[in-house]
Amino acid sequence: MGILNTVGLVLTLAFALPVALLGVNLVVSGRTVTGIALCVVAVLMVALKQYVTTPDDVPTAAAEKTVSAVVKDEEN
């Protein structure tokens, strides 16, 4: 996982965590259907970011491959 993917995950979590917290709050207050639905939405936000390639991910992947080709690891 490169630095750009890590930053993207952090930004996704910044949006997903409030949704998940609202869902948990609704479950605790008794509105379980809405709360569980919001928790599922939060999980899907993170899962889609991690496992689905979007057109925005293509330049990021190209940049990471270019950087890894230019910068050699000392271990190799």
Per residue in 14-29, pLDDT (tens digit) is 999 999 999 999 999 9
| Mean pLDDT estimate for the chain | 85
Residue 66 to residues 27, 28, 55, 60: CA-CA distances in angstroms?
46, 48, 18, 10
Mean pLDDT calculated for residue range 58-74? 75
**pLDDT above 80: residue 4:** no
Q: How confident is the model at residue 58 (pLDDT cuts 50, 70, 90)?
A: confident
Residue 32: per-residue pLDDT: 93
Q: Per the structure block, which two tokens stand in for 68?
A: 């890894």
